[in-house]
Amino acid sequence: MMWPQVLLPIFVQSILGMQFKHPEILWALLLLLIPIFIHLFQLRRFQKTPFTNVKLLKKVVSASRKSSTLKKWLLLLARMGLIAFLVLAFAQPFTAKDIALKPKHYVFYLDNSFSMQAKTGNGPLLQQALQDFAQNIPENETFSFFTNTATYRDVQLADIKNELLQTPYTAKQLSFTEVLLKGQTLFGDQQDAQRHMVLISDFQQQLNMDVPSLEAMVDHEVHLVQLVAEASLNRAIDSVYLENTAMGKGELVVQLSTWGTSENLPVSLYNGNDLMAKTAAQFQNQRAVVRFTLPDTGAINGRVVITDNGLEYDNQFHFNLDATDPIRVLAINGAESAFLSRIFTPAEFVLMQTSLSQLNYSTLPEQNLVVLNELQKLPTALTMALQEFLTNGGAVAVVPPTDMEVASYNAFLAPMANTQWDSLVKQEVPISTVNTAHPLFKNVFEGNVVNFQYPTVKAYFKVRSQLPVALGLQNQTPFLLGNDQLYVFTTALSMDNTNFKNSPLIVPTFYNMGKLSLDLPPLYATLGSPFMVEVPISLSQDDILKVTKSGEGFIPQQEVLPKKVRLLFGELPEKDGIYTIDNRGEPLRAISFNYDRKESNPNYTDLSPYTKAQQHNNLTGFFEEVQKNNTINEFWKWFVILALVFVLLETALHRFLDH
């Protein structure tokens, strides 16, 4: 049975209030019986010496007996003390908290998102946290460590110190739930170890912390180390867009936000490294708008820049405007077409006009937009060619005549847009509805369309279609339907049927049809968000487009069509800037990417509701508390010293009490 072997060590531990590294050695305390037995059963004999007169020695004999008895007791105590303290020293006594004796596994999460660029007295939050971690983590401590972009499992500081100190900022931000789940996976199968998950962050509100996720972590302790910047100040460039583009490139509108200060802010516009213009932003209600007039010609690799003492990542904004080729428009006319010449001007378009009888079918694939201008009938060859043209990414605008052959038009539109023509209705009805949310009229009107002199129609066709309505008649019948590839009028545009050609609506309608027929890249894209851009180029079978910046590049997902290539972006690229789309090293066009501005608002989470987690003001304080809880106070040296004291005591007793 085991209990007799542990009874004595447990008794000694309870008496001394200590724990022992080798409690089995405490059985050696039974050696204390040896000096006791020697003291009680001494076999030494005394020889009697006769004296002629012992009366004089009675007092001396009495005094010697008392001195001898005292000496024996002192020697007994000295020898017992020597044996006891030597045994206790070899058993290595110590005191510690219960948690200090259990194995531990630490998992550290360090937030390296852009919000950690906020300043402290010793630099940005991230750099300060990295330095504190490297200075305080024990060199022989094994731990797991992860950020938003990197993971290190069961490592020591020496293994990752260089990578650790070079941790970059990132636009990727794990959610609070993702952080907890990933940290939990890094603990592995160490069931007997104490598990401590340490989250180091500024805990911006966009981290989306929730109490239930934290309370679900029942098999380990969670520590929240909230890093706090000196001041919650920041100013950011939110977005840019174009206005007044009817003539030239128009105006560049820059939107800015501020938190904590409303002072005027200088804003600079660069084309590459060349300063184009500079102005000042005046903030009202934490918002500001500035405008720059752009030159009419030439490509612009633009960059808007501010100088701010807050976060750095949102102090510049990239955009680009390419010098694009004119959009190719083909009008197949069955009626008057002078209005098309006035809209599709040579500065932005190449307009080719032909009759149906003189149509060269080989030119169709080269076009971006085909206008069917009141053709009485659509031949089967043209129907098949147009259907293939739409499939390959082209755009078609259909203007029917009042005497059209309905069957031929239905043969073309039914498979492509689930659109069916019905009978002609001869009724004069005004156009009364403009869908300002439709892509054709987006940014055309400054507000709701009121007090507008609408044109009228004398006859129109009833249409059943799932295409969205862009213009509608007063009787809720559509006048113009369409999406970004197919536009369908429900009536002829000839002057004897409608005065639409004299209306201001005709210019933005056909102009935007032409503009939307080729999806030109927008000013910029946001990193991490799905994004598609079309490049007007015909690639051979083995060719592939590459996206590069400063000598580094990647190949995005791409869809090759006969006359253009669609590039799809998602996780790549990871850094902001202006990239170049290349074909065999030849630059085709530029494309700009910017970071999402979701971290610009210095709004942080109040951690007081998270009572399930231990909270710390800084990383140094956390490590000090860990060291305090894990401290083991050893006393074996003191017991060795006490044993030596009893050795000296026994020597002194022999030396001084014998005289």
Sequence spans of domains, the chain? 3-46+54-96+635-656, 102-231+603-631, 327-516, 525-594
* Dist CA 4 CA 8 (whole Å): 8
Beta bridge partners of 23: none
Q: Where are the beta strands (DSSP E) in 570-658?
A: 577-583, 586-594, 614-616, 633-634
Token pair of 134 as six digits: 């490297």
pLDDT in tens, 469-493: 999 999 989 999 998 789 999 999 9
pLDDT in tens, 172-190: 889 888 998 899 889 876 6
Mean pLDDT for the chain overall: 83
* Dist CA 199 CA 221 (whole Å): 11
* Dist CA 515 CA 636 (whole Å): 87
Tell me the C-alpha to C-alpha distance, in Å, between residue 314 and each of 228, 267, 307, 355, 483: 20, 13, 10, 55, 35
pLDDT on residue 451: 54
What number is the average pLDDT over the span 505-510? 90
Tokens 């999806």 -> residue: 519
Q: Which of 396, 393, 397 shows the shortest CA–CA distance to 537?
A: 393
Q: Options 3.40.50.410, 3.30.460.80, 2.130.10.30, 3.90.550.10; which CATH number does 102-231+603-631 get?
A: 3.40.50.410
Single-letter amino acid code for the residue at 44 = R
pLDDT in tens, 563-590: 788 999 988 999 999 999 999 889 988 9
The burial class, CB within 10 Å (0-12 / 13-18 / 19+), for 68 is: exposed
pLDDT in tens, 330-386: 999 999 999 999 999 987 899 999 999 999 998 998 899 999 999 999 999 999 999
CB 601 within 8 A of CB 113: no
In what side-by-side order are the strands of the sheet with 469-473? Answer: 349-355, 327-333, 369-373, 395-399, 486-489, 478-482, 469-473, 420-434, 456-464
Single-letter amino acid code for the residue at 557 = Q
CB 581 within 8 A of CB 190: no
In what side-by-side order are the strands of the sheet with 194-201? Answer: 151-155, 143-146, 104-110, 194-201, 221-226, 614-616
Residue 263 CB neighbours (<10 A)? 10
pLDDT over 90, % of the chain: 44
Tell me the C-alpha to C-alpha distance, in Å, between residue 645 and each of 34, 89, 134, 357, 657: 20, 14, 44, 123, 18
Asked which of 80-89, 391-400, 608-617 is least confident by mean pLDDT, the reply is: 80-89
What number is the average pLDDT over the span 190-196? 73
* Dist CA 565 CA 321 (whole Å): 19
SS3 423: strand
* Dist CA 60 CA 56 (whole Å): 8
Token pair of 137 as six digits: 């983590």
Q: Which of 471, 565, 466, 456 shows the shortest CA–CA distance to 510?
A: 471
Residue 289 CB neighbours (<10 A)? 13
Question: For the structural domain made of 525-594, what CATH number should be given?
Answer: 2.60.40
Residue 257 CB neighbours (<10 A)? 19
Top pLDDT among 185 and 658 is at: 185
Fold match between domain 102-231+603-631 and domain 327-516: yes
What are the phi and psi torsion angles at 593 (to 5°)? -130, 140
Tokens 């009817």 -> residue: 246
pLDDT in tens, 132-147: 999 999 888 899 999 9
636-656 and 58-91 are packed helices; what angle lies between their axes, rounded to 10 degrees? 160
pLDDT over 70, % of the chain: 82
With bands split at pLDDT 50, 70 and 90, how would you rate the model's confidence at 448? Answer: low
CA 531 to chain CA centroid, nearest Å: 18
What are the phi and psi torsion angles at 611 (to 5°)? -75, -15
Structural fold of domain 327-516: Rossmann fold (3.40.50)
Greatest extent of the chain over all pairs of C-alpha atoms, in Å: 170
pLDDT in tens, 276-298: 999 999 999 999 999 999 886 67
